[in-house]
Amino acid sequence: MKQKSSERIFFIIMLSLFTILNYTIISLGHKLTYDLETNNCVHMSSQLEGMIEKIGIPVTLKTGGDADGSRHMWIKLGGIIEVDSVTLMPIINTKYDQHMVEYQSYDEYEKRYT
């Protein structure tokens, strides 16, 4: 009986480590493709929106400003989880909390600024 419990614990630990390692590799690879001259958070949010909505998860885009005047865009998955479009890490508290605007699609954002 004790052996079964220790095997389950070991399996859960290994599965967790495997998941974390895979997520780290994917997010690092995604971040390394970030090229400020050709891409920025807006472009990456738009690309992620297209990819994620193809698998059926609703995505909204959020923008916000910092106290120094800089702005950033990230995505919100299923109306619940906010994810940075550059690092793919969940956002808990963003420093871009001023003048936050949520867009239902990139087209809506583009219409506002063109």
| Contact between 62 and 100 (Cβ < 8 Å) | yes
Measured distance CA(85)–CA(62) in Å, rounded = 10
One-letter identity of residue 31? K
> Residue 46: how many CB atoms within 10 A of its CB?
20
Percent of the chain residues past pLDDT 70, beyond the cut: 88
If you average pLDDT over residues 20-46, what whole number do you get? 76
In the three-class reduction of DSSP (H, G, I as helix; E, B as strand; rest coil), residue 100 is classed as strand
Q: Regarding predicted confidence, which is higher, 86 or 58? A: 58
Predicted local distance difference test score (pLDDT) of residue 59: 93
pLDDT of 2 > 70? The answer is no
Give the predicted TM-score (pTM) of the model: 0.69
Decide: helix, strand or coil at residue 61. strand
